[in-house]
Every structure is written in structure tokens, then in C-alpha cells.
């Protein structure tokens, strides 16, 4: 199943690109709904790079639901790279419960603002529909938190 949610943000694409390169953004956007505790590497990284990151997932910071792997296939850290592709983030992730959690973030300039789109493909066998429903709520939560963060000038 697929999730596709977009929003228009009052900031430049380049500014959002530089923020997306920071794992701190994931923590901010996910909280308090989901908490990602680093497992491997054990210490949080300053910036994403191509590679695999393993996290322990906690719903509301309390209920463990297993491990999740963020498998970064593409991350754009340099705003100058944005012109080559609107996909600035691609995570071919998976978890203990979900075989495929393929997440892409697409950024497009729209009259000096940024059209931000989350595209997610989810495959989890019998858990696909519940995972898809959770993803709908989770990405709406993320979008609300992102809008708030942009409006404060990225004051975490």
C-alpha cells in the first residue's frame, strides 16, 4: 500500500534540504508519537549519509515495538544537488513487523516556497492495512510538526 502526503512550506528548498540532512529533524518530527533510539551506530550521527542505521522504536516513548532499519539510499546534503532530482531523501527501510517501509521525500520549488511530499510504500503481509493506517496518522503528525518548525525558523 502507498501513502502520499504533500504540503506547502513557507521556506526555500535549500533551507529544508540542509535540515533534512540532520537526524535531529527525524527526532523532532516523530516525537512524541514515536521515539527512535539508536542501536547501530550506538551514538546518534550528526548528518545522514548513505548506509544503514538501526533503531529501537518506542510508541509514545514507552511502548517498544521492535527495531526499525533506516537504509539510506539517497540523501542530499548539499542544496546545490537539488536541481538534479526532486527526491532528496530515499530510505529503503524495514522493521521487525514491516518488510518494506520505502520512504522518499520530494522537494519542489513553488513560487519561492517548498512543496514537500512524503511518498511511502508499505508491505507487511497481514499487518499491511494496520501499518498503512498508522502511517497515515504518523505522516500527518510529521507534517503538522514540520509546519510548526518552519514557522519558528527551525527553532528545535
Q: Which residues lie across from 51 on neighbouring strands? A: 72
Q: Please check whether residue 70 is in contact with residue 56, taking contact to mean a CB–CB distance below 8 angstroms.
A: no
Neighbours of 21 (CB within 10 A): 20
Chain-centroid distance, C-alpha 75: 11
Share of the chain above pLDDT 70, in %: 94
DSSP state of 33: T
Look at residue 38 and give its three-state secondary structure: strand
Q: Which CATH architecture has domain 2-150?
A: 2-Layer Sandwich (3.30)
Determine the Cα–Cα distance for residues 37 and 56; give it in Å rounded to an integer. Answer: 5
Look at residue 146 and give its three-state secondary structure: helix
Q: What is the pLDDT of residues 33-85, one digit of tens each?
A: 999 999 999 998 999 999 999 999 999 989 999 999 999 998 875 556 655 56
- Does the reported pTM lie above 0.85? yes
Angle between helices 128-151 and 23-30 (to 10 degrees): 110
Amino acid at each position: 500500500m502507498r501513502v502520499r502526503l504533500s504540503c506547502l512550506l513557507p521556506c526555500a528548498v535549500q533551507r529544508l534540504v540542509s535540515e533534512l540532512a540532520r537526524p535531529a529533524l527525524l527526532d523532532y518530527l516523530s516525537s512524541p508519537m514515536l521515539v527512535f533510539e539508536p542501536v547501530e551506530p550506538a551514538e546518534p550521527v550528526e548528518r545522514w549519509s548513505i548506509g544503514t542505521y538501526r533503531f529501537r522504536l518506542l510508541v509514545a516513548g514507552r511502548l517498544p515495538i521492535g527495531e526499525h532499519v533506516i537504509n539510506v539510499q539517497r540523501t542530499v546534503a548539499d542544496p546545490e544537488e537539488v536541481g538534479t532530482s526532486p527526491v532528496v531523501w530515499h530510505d529503503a527501510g524495514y522493521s521487525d513487523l514491516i518488510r518494506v517501509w520505502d520512504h522518499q521525500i520530494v522537494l519542489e520549488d513553488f513560487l519561492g516556497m517548498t512543496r514537500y511530499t512524503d511518498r511511502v510504500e508499505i508491505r507487511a503481509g497481514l499487518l499491511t492495512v494496520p501499518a498503512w493506517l498508522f502511517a497515515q496518522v504518523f505522516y500527518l503528525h510529521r507534517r503538522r510538526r514540520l509546519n510548526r518548525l518552519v514557522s519558528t525558523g527551525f527553532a528545535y
